[in-house]
Amino acid sequence: MSEANRSAMPATLGDWLAHLEGLHPKGQGGIELGLERVRRVKAALGQTQDCPLVIVGGTNGKGSTCAYLEAIYRFAGYRVGCYTSPHLLDYNERVRIDGAPIDDSALCAAFVRVEAARGKTSLTYFEFGTLAAWEAFAAAQVDVVILEVGLGGRLDAVNAYEPDCAVVTGVALDHTDWLGPTREAIGFEKAGIYRAAKPAICADPQPPQSLVEHAAAIGADLQLLGRDFGYFGDKTQWTWWGRNNLRRGGLANPGLRGASQLRNAAAVLAVVEALRTRLPVSMQAVRRGLIELELPGRFQLIPGRPALVLDVAHNPQAVAGLVDNLGDMGFHEKTIAVVGMLADKDIAGALAPLAGRVDVWHLADLDVPRGAAAAVLAAAIAEGSLGGSVECHASPEAAFAAASKQAGENDRILAFGSFYTVAAVMRALKNRR
């Protein structure tokens, strides 16, 4: 690259992110599925796969699954590259090396290489970031890479890479505008990350037939929860089981809260066993990786009174899981909800599990692409007869401030509905300190 071309490029990470946002026609929130653009630039970069790769897809549980795998392999002594999305506070959170967000200089260097290689190819924000993440992992010479699917699977940018093992955590209705209106349609899209003769893990207790049939059609080594692997136990410990009468017992419950975390953890152990010949892992590393894990925004309890729960749940399945977790918290006089959501979500379906469980709703406009107005959420609450009083606010920050002022020390504030909502509350908490 010439010095002139290099000097014309953005200088700071903030400048780079603004550049990425303007590269591709916005369309539906800047999303355009397809692999042709990514594969073209990937080839121009000369990217190769020199270490094992795990791709993780699914409607819910992707972030948790990636985090468990990352932690286990790190405790096993491997250098791990992990790419997830979206981020909460800083873009660097998306690209982690050895458990730490990448520093600005390394990320910008990766952006420079992608920009130089893409020529006239118009990349989306996510496509550009995916290619840059791989560049960063190659530069860091990681031992294993974990990539989280951004949307769907078959046509998602991370699917331009060839996984040694692929995981679908579960299939539920979300992103129906892009993936189809049924679980069968969505299941087919998510199964697109599976590969012939490679381990294909599915942790959905009732997998769509489309997923099962696609795995069979391509000759993937499909491993289903309840058939090829699973778990049993109680509130104190659990046992994982797999093929060939394999057992891993005496496991403490995962560090992340919620019944769904055992399914996620079971899928993670299936991955670990599937890749054991290439990535040997001790049970001590497994135990530590499952227990010593905190993931912001996943039923995260903030110490203090009133109780504060942060959860990025934004679809019916995830909110139903959130409601189950709330039931295990004990008594609180009132539950005060702070909610902001994206307009393309199933807003009525996502709010429905909280019927009769919220005393006051503080609803927020989300001033972002695809953001829903608070009035839309208020209409869904009224039409669904969900109960509770309703107040609308111009931002999640304003909604959280009002909820905090209103809440007594024996109450509970619940902030959920979007990564944007949880991030706003986290920033507000940070500014208080």
SS3 270: helix
> Across all residues in the chain, what is the average pLDDT?
91
Q: Is the pLDDT of residue 91 over 90?
A: yes
Q: Which amino acid is at 424?
A: A
Q: Name the class of domain 3-291.
A: alpha beta
User: Peptide bond preceding 86: is omega within 30 degrees of 0, i.e. cis?
Assistant: yes
Q: Is the pLDDT of residue 345 over 70?
A: yes
Confidence at 295, pLDDT banded by 50, 70, 90: confident
Confidence at 84, pLDDT banded by 50, 70, 90: very high
CA angle 397, 400, 406 (to 5 degrees): 145
CA angle 137, 154, 51 (to 5 degrees): 25
* Strand pairing class (165-168; 144-148): unpaired
Q: Residues 6 or more apart from 405 whose CB is under 8 A from it? A: none
Closest listed residue to residue 201, CA positions, set 189, 191, 188, 214: 191
Q: How far is it, in rounded angstroms, from Cα 331 to Cα 309? A: 14
Q: How far is it, in rounded angstroms, from Cα 396 to Cα 367? A: 10
Helix, strand and coil in the chain, % to nearest 5: 40, 20, 40
Domain ranges of the chain: 3-291, 300-432
Q: Residue 25 has what pLDDT? A: 58
9 burial (CB, 10 Å; 0-12 / 13-18 / 19+) is middle
Q: Which tokens belong to 385?
A: 């007869």
Q: Is the pLDDT of residue 311 over 70?
A: yes
Q: Where are the alpha helices (DSSP H) in 88-167?
A: 104-118, 125-140
109 burial (CB, 10 Å; 0-12 / 13-18 / 19+) is middle
CATH placement of domain 300-432: 3.90.190.20
* Contact between residue 296 and residue 68 where contact means Cβ atoms under 8 Å apart: no
Q: Is the pLDDT of residue 3 over 50?
A: no
Q: Which amino acid is at 308?
A: L
Q: How far is it, in rounded angstroms, from Cα 396 to Cα 365? A: 7
> End-to-end alpha-carbon separation of the chain, Å?
45
Distances (CA, A) of 16 to 104, 127, 328, 420: 10, 14, 44, 21
Q: Is the pLDDT of residue 411 over 80?
A: yes
Q: Which tokens belong to 366?
A: 């989300």
Q: How far is it, in rounded angstroms, from Cα 247 to Cα 239? A: 7
Q: Which amino acid is at 347?
A: I
**pTM, entire model:** 0.90
Q: Residue 178 has what pLDDT? A: 65
Confidence at 256, pLDDT banded by 50, 70, 90: confident
* Strand pairing class (199-202; 100-101): unpaired
* Contact between residue 360 and residue 391 where contact means Cβ atoms under 8 Å apart: yes
- Higher per-residue confidence, 152 vs 159: 159
Closest listed residue to residue 143, CA positions, set 67, 66, 80, 77: 80
Q: How far is it, in rounded angstroms, from Cα 344 to Cα 379? A: 15
* Strand pairing class (335-339; 360-364): parallel
Paired strand residues for 31: 27, 28
Q: At what angle do helices 104-118 and 13-21 cross, to 10 degrees?
A: 40
Q: For the CA atoms of the chain, what is the radius of gyration?
A: 22
Q: How far is it, in rounded angstroms, from Cα 52 to Cα 262? A: 24
Paired strand residues for 165: 54
DSSP state, residue 102: P
Q: Residue 4 has what pLDDT? A: 42
383 burial (CB, 10 Å; 0-12 / 13-18 / 19+) is exposed
- Alpha carbon dihedral 359, 365, 366, 372, in 10-degree steps, equals 90
Closest listed residue to residue 153, CA positions, set 276, 12, 34: 34
Share above pLDDT 70 across residues of the chain, in percent, rounded to a whole number: 95
Q: How far is it, in rounded angstroms, from Cα 214 to Cα 224? A: 13
Q: How far is it, in rounded angstroms, from Cα 217 to Cα 211? A: 10
pLDDT in tens, 166-189: 999 999 876 667 677 899 999 999
Closest listed residue to residue 20, CA positions, set 92, 115, 90, 109: 115
